[in-house]
Structure 1
Amino acid sequence: MAEWDAAAALSEARAEVEARIGALRRQLGEIREVSSWTGADDEHDPEGQTIAFERAQVQGLLDDARRELVELDRAAVRVEDGTYGCCERCGAPIGDERLAALPAAATCIGCASRARK
């Protein structure tokens, strides 16, 4: 993948993740607001468990999006230093298809598969 393609893909992915973070922050704020209406006693409130679950789920999605943003920033550094598209583990090229699907990918598919086992 050419450097300018990588930079454009990373920029687009970063904008999408930032938008997702903004939406999740708003959603989390709305959940907190709703939970303040129902009182602080989640244990005895029939809706309490649902609100707590929803809050935890949205917080998890927000944490994931923040990690993804960090990974995209690391990938942008690799573009700048000329190592983007090379596996951080084995040094082999990362396939264009993998980079197109996961612009922040730091490992080739072989190393990523071995890491999961």
Structure 2
Amino acid sequence: MSSSSLVVHTQRRQLELYEDNRLIYRFPIAVGKNETPTPHGFFYIAAKAMYPGGVFGSRWMGLSLPQYGIHGTNNPASIGQAVSKGCIRMYNQDAEFVYQHVEIGTPVKIQS
């Protein structure tokens, strides 16, 4: 079984998916606005949910930092912007791809 990890670059607004320390995909994302920035640090996937609804789009991957997560969106035009309350937004199809490749406990590094 491969070992997945995620690296989020808030300034570039990109999320990278690694398997066995090898970059396999890079996705565009939306990040937190200035008043509610996306926190930097080392976290892990603590929860997963399919079809959480509303602003969370088709997938939710909650981080070990409560109330923050990686999720889809009901507003695809927001991807590439700094508009969230600190969460990492993805296009729904991208969130679904990542959801399939990560498990509870997958490491997530968020950096500028």
Structure 1-normalised TM-score?
A: 0.24
More RCO (CA 8 Å, sep 6+): 2
Query: Normalized per residue, which structure has more helix?
Result: 1
Structure of larger gyration radius? 1
